Amino acid sequence: MNEIKFEFSDTITGYVTEFDRDAGKFTMKTSDGREFQVELANNVYALLIRNMEEPYQDATGQIHDMLEPGRFLFAYGTFYPEHGGHSFEAKTLVFAGRGINDYGFERQDWWMKQITSLGDHYLRWQFGDDPVDYRNYRTILYLAGQKQADDFRQETDTISRLVYGFASAYLMTGDDRYLEGAEKGTEYLRDHMRFYDTDENIVYWYHGIDIKGRREQKIFASEFGDDIDAIPAYEQIYALPGRCKPTASPATRAS
């Protein structure tokens, strides 16, 4: 009844166990022990894993030499229903490094560079060259970087994710620009997205606010389709960890 009779695309991550150069096929095993036979498509191409802002590094001409047992890679391709099962044809191979024991994401500065690139981009996308001001924050940014017009919605969960990201970036890098982004985002959440029920002594977090010129309209209950008109716990939880900003330098925290 649930038999899959259509093709679909997916990525397999694992280690090469065998390679048949003549047949253009290799076998790979995932970390949980599953084995897949992978056929190389006629137009397959390969590249090395790269961090944000690093240049493309092609490895297509070295595919046959690099498919050696023990090699870790990501294979993206298509599963085709055949012979009562599925065959897998790889369209793209992403190698972790040039050497068999080379893992690019284990370089000492890999994650520092990644978080710095992310932090810099979000500061520029949301605030440009101006001081950090969350009144200018937009939930939706278009592909070319443009923001919505004067009337727009700000959502608590997305601002809180950005605060959490800035706080994490600050703890990793010590860059005060990210601390400013986290602190001002926290202040904005507390000032604009919080409702204090004095009778019950409980704080609720709004789903979001609609900005129309200089006016704010609070949106209390969720407007997502799966929990519309409810006050879902996950939105309340988002606001809490998102606003837990760092209060000391990384060096002070470490001591």
Here the tokens at position 1 are 């009844």
Which pTM value belongs to this model? 0.77
Q: What is the pLDDT of residues 17-33, one digit of tens each?
A: 999 999 999 999 999 99
Residue 251 scores a pLDDT above 50: no
Q: What is the mean pLDDT of the chain?
A: 88
Closest CA to 251 of 178, 174, 183, 176: 174
Which residue reads 């760092």 in tokens? 246
pLDDT of residue 83: 76
pLDDT of residue 18: 97
Residue 223 scores a pLDDT above 50: yes
Q: How confident is the model at residue 146 (pLDDT cuts 50, 70, 90)?
A: confident
Spell out the domains of the chain, with CATH numbers in brackets: 8-106 (2.40.50.140), 110-247 (no CATH)
For the ranges 104-113, 205-214, 224-233, which has the lowest average pLDDT?
224-233
Rounded to 10 degrees, the C-alpha dihedral 198/200/205/209 comes to: -50
pLDDT of residue 245: 46
**Main-chain dihedrals φ then ψ at residue 207, nearest 5 degrees:** -60, -40
Closest CA to 45 of 16, 74, 9: 74
The rounded distance, in Å, linking the Cα atoms of 11 and 77 is 6
Here the tokens at position 96 are 């972790």
pLDDT of residue 242: 63
pLDDT of residue 250: 44
For residue 18, the one-letter residue type is E
pLDDT of residue 3: 72
Q: What is the pLDDT of residues 64-118, one digit of tens each?
A: 999 999 999 999 999 999 877 889 999 999 999 999 999 999 999 999 999 999 9
Instruction: Write down the H helix ranges in 102-173.
Output: 110-127, 156-173
Q: Which residues are within 8 A (CB) of 8 and not within 5 positions of it... i.e. 6 or more apart?
A: 78, 79
Buried b / exposed e along 176-200 (16+ C-beta atoms within 10 A):
eebbbbbbbbbebbeebbeeeeeee
Here the tokens at position 170 are 């600050």
pLDDT of residue 253: 38
**Main-chain dihedrals φ then ψ at residue 5, nearest 5 degrees:** -120, 25
Beta bridge partners of 72: 15
pLDDT of residue 2: 64
Here the tokens at position 28 are 């790979």
pLDDT of residue 252: 37
End-to-end Cα, the chain, rounded Å = 60
pLDDT of residue 54: 93
Rounded to 10 degrees, the C-alpha dihedral 153/154/158/160 comes to: -170
Collapsing DSSP to helix, strand or coil, 38 comes out as: strand
